[in-house]
Each structure stands twice: as structure tokens, then as C-alpha cells.
Structure 1
Amino acid sequence: MHKLLSGLCLGLAASLAFAAGVENKWRLQFSGNAESDGQIVLQLAPSEGDPMTATVAIHKGRGENSVARDVRDALREQVGKRYHVEVDDGEDVLIKKHRGEHDFVVTIVENSVEGVRIGTNAE
């Protein structure tokens, strides 16, 4: 039952995100320090094809720049073949589609890290 609800929530999140529009690049802006261990779960959903989910473990005590690097590294490992991922300004992560890929939407599915806030902006 838990898996079914989780799947429904992911589908709803993707549907809401598509209402905002797909883009060719996104900026994730991290602020605050990790006051607890937790995880950040991101979904990258192309306009055509299956969405991809990336899960990032964050440890208590990480600053916003370190959280951004952790997210960058996890995205590169988990979805990097289709997207270019880099850190910008220390606390921002830029995600850009590779040539030939479809525009996409980034959705924050979960952020269980106390003290860390994430903003998303299409570029």
C-alpha cells in the first residue's frame, strides 16, 4: 500500500509540475544549514519519456554550499547521462538538458533535512 501511495504522490507531483511548464534548464537554490540527517529526493521529468528520480543523503552539519555539492554529485551519478549538472555561486545547482534531450521539469519530491530550504527556478 505504501508503494502505491508513493507512486500516486510522484505522479501528482509530476502533473502539477507540468502545469508550471517544461524548460531546458533549471536552477536549484539551497539555503540554510543541515540541522539533521535526512534526504532530498528530486524528480526530473522530461516532456516525453519516463521521469527519473534522484535521492541524495545529507548529513547533519552540512552548509548550503556542501549540500549543493552533494546534490550535484548525486545527480551526476544518477541522471548525468541525460543532463549536465554543475554548481554555480556555491549554493546553486544548475541542471541543463544535453543536446537531443527533451525539455523537462524538476520537482522536489521530498526534503527531510531540517534547516535546508530549496528554491527552484526555470532558467
Structure 2
Amino acid sequence: MNPQAIRNTLAVVLVTLCALPAPDAPAYAQFAPLLMPNANQAPRPEPADRWRLEFHDAADSDGIISFRLWVQEESPMHVDVPIRKGESDSEIARAARDALATRLGERYAAVVVGGEDIVITAQRGSPRFTVELLRDTARDVDVDVDRD
């Protein structure tokens, strides 16, 4: 077999393997880290002093909610919040609050409001920031991210 035929055959095999579903894999396993956009190449959204994250509905599957945090003059940070099937929106909000507060540190306050919302506020003298939702692989969980 000539080298071109071997390359063509390998290409067909690789494309076929990539298209096969992984039936027993958890929901978050279907997103390979290679497919996530490079955080340093994405345009930086407009920063604010307060952001509100709203969580709606209980999780119908395991998954991950991923956020990107941009603090002015700093590199972006990623925060992954693991979600378990059956967790309520208030449980998801508390888990997200804990993960975000740990990552942001004392310069920012993350507080659960109304049971299923999180308000993140820059403390006095802290730089403005942006919160982006990168992905949400837990079925039936909706996340809204807005300036507050």
C-alpha cells in the first residue's frame, strides 16, 4: 500500500472513531479539554462590580458547570462546579458559590440570594471583573449570567 492510501485510511478511521458515541460515559466526559477555546484568545467582556448567576431546575444528570472569571489586569481563571444527578437548583447554587468564593479569594464576596441565585461583588478597592458561562453539561440545569 502506498503512503497516501495509508494516510487516507487512517483519516477515515479517526473520523469514524470520533463520531462514535460513548454510551456509558458521564455527561461531562463528552467535552474534551482540547475543544475548549483558549481563554487568552477570547475577547474580554465588559467588567462590572457585581454579577448575578441564576440557577434554574434540578439536575437530570451528572455534569459540570464551567465558568471563566476575568479580573482586570489578570489572567482569566476557570472554575468547574461538579453537579450530581438530582441536585436541586439551591444545592447547585451553594456548590457554585463555594467554588467561586474559593477561587476569587477575599477580594470578592459570593453570596447566595433567594436560594438559587449567587451575587458576586467586588469588595472595596478590588478591580472590576467579568463572569462567563463556558459550559453546562448537567441536563435540565439552566444558568443565566448577568451584570447585577
TM over 0.5: yes
Please, what TM-score do these two structures have when normalized by structure 1? 0.85
Runs (5+) with no aligned partner, structure 1: none
* One-letter code aligned to 1:58: I
Cα RMSD of the aligned pairs, angstroms, is: 1.8
From the superposition, tell whether residues 34 and 47 of structure 1 become closer, same or farther in structure 2 (CA, over 3 Å): same
* One-letter code aligned to 2:58: N
Identity of aligned residues (%): 33
Q: Kindly indicate which of the two structures has a greater share of residues assigned to strand.
A: 1
Moved over 6 A (4+): none
CA contact (8 A) 1:54 1:79 kept: no
For residue 49 of structure 2, the aligned residue among 6, 15, 24 is: 24
Q: Figure out how many residues of one structure are paired with residues of the other and give that number.
A: 117
Higher relative contact order (CA 8 A, sep 6+): 1
**1:6 correspondence with 2:6:** no
Please, what TM-score do these two structures have when normalized by structure 2? 0.71
Runs (5+) with no aligned partner, structure 2: 1-31
Q: Deviations over 1:33-63 (max 9, x none)?
A: 1000011111110232111111111110001
Structure number with greater Rg is: 2
CA distance in 1, matches of 2:114, 2:127: 26
